Amino acid sequence: MQRTAAYGVVSDGSGGVLLLQVPGGRDPEGHWSLPGGLVRHGENPRDRVKAGLLEQTGLRAASITPRDAGADVVELPEHGVSVHTLRLLFDVALYGRPPGISGPGRPAVIAEEGLAQGQDRLPGEDREVDSPMDELSSPVAVVVPPDPDRPVAQFVGRFMAAEELAALPQGVFLGDLLASRSVVTVLSGGVDLLDPPIDPALLLEPAEPTESAEPADSGAQPGEVPVFVQRPAAYAVLVDEKAEGGPRMLLSKLAGSEDTWTLPGGGIDHGEHPGLALQREIHEEAGLPYTAGPLIDISSRHFVGRAPHGRLEDFHAVRLIYAGSVPVDLEPHVVEVGGSTDEAAWIPIADFETVGAVPTAREALAAWHAHRDDRPQ
């Protein structure tokens, strides 16, 4: 079974990260974790972070930016189940200053321009950025949702510095993700703090992965029910800016198509880290060694359509877009036999409209430009 979860990293501006703990004995070991949770079918991971933060802490996100991704596997041999969780990490800036949360430094006040445009502040939020944070007598403060009538569980929240974090019980994925260690943690059992419990009785056979479905008229037959498929995949934006004749980008042509060019990459296999999946896919589709770059975007697309093999699917694509590089002096060539790609080539960016580059490729290129422009010079 494969599933996707998304979490927010809220910093206080001095290195402290907001962590949550469930009070009341729901977690006897007292693990701390990040706000967020499992991405529902059809849900954009950014929306899961936004909703999770509000539901679990009462805080409102002003911006949500991809940070990193990891994975872990929970083995449940007594049930014959292996659960692979892809975990997406986002940096989150808040509207206003969260009150009543202790920690090593001051909560950051970000996106003040959003407040000036009429955005509502949460009760107690302070627009004064220079006033000191109130001293708290307790090292831990309860985060209270803004609407007491909503049936939302209350969590204990605290900004923790890295040295504090290392000394406390954590969700199994948290340390690796925050430290950006590209490993896949394999467990014999247990679940993370903010994940719903894994109920083996509810685990269905995962649908076989497909490259894509067609969002056009599905031609569904009376009584035909689509199969739910959530497919996380990793892709790379690989640009040769110094090419003679202008910048060009490495693209892959979908097998069986005349002119459908897309990003190199593909589905993340069970138990696979997204970075390793991308390295494998680029080798299979273009025969080139991939030097990893940062995660620059995460997109989500949901539609009902026909898969290439004819099955009707309710298809949810979660696409991780990475930067990086490959040798520009080597000729790309397809290595995988019978795969989803039958050609790889450097395509001039100026020719995207005429060669049939898919919208995802153009959107990813825009994200790459935005990432490059935001980097410190």
pLDDT band, very low/low/confident/very high, at 209 (cuts 50, 70, 90): very low
Of the three residues 197, 215, 248, the one that is the final residue of a domain is 197
Q: How far apart are CA 141 and CA 103, in angstroms?
A: 9
Q: Give yes or no: residues 238 and 359 share one domain.
A: yes
Strands 155-160 and 141-143: antiparallel
**If you write DSSP's letter for every residue of 101-144 in order, what string do you get?**
---SSPPP-B-HHHHHTTPPPPTT----SSSPPPP-SSSSEEE-
Q: Give yes or no: residues 139 and 282 share one domain.
A: no
Task: Indicate the number of domains in the chain.
Answer: 2
Q: Does residue 35 belong to any structural domain of this protein?
A: yes
Q: Does residue 221 belong to any structural domain of this protein?
A: no
Domain of residue 342, CATH code: 3.90.79.10
The mean pLDDT value of the chain amounts to: 76
pLDDT band, very low/low/confident/very high, at 177 (cuts 50, 70, 90): low
Q: Give yes or no: residues 50 and 139 share one domain.
A: yes
- Residue 189, pLDDT > 60, answer no
Q: Does residue 218 belong to any structural domain of this protein?
A: no
Task: Give the mean pLDDT of 174-190.
Answer: 58
Identify the residue with better confidence: 188 or 352: 352
Q: How far apart are CA 250 and CA 361, in angstroms?
A: 10
Q: How far apart are CA 176 and CA 70, in angstroms?
A: 8
Q: Does residue 207 belong to any structural domain of this protein?
A: no
CA 208 to chain centre: 21
The reported pLDDT for the residue numbered 205 is: 46
Range of the domain at 24: 2-197
Q: Give yes or no: residues 140 and 268 share one domain.
A: no
Contacts of 375 (CB under 8 A, 6+ apart): none
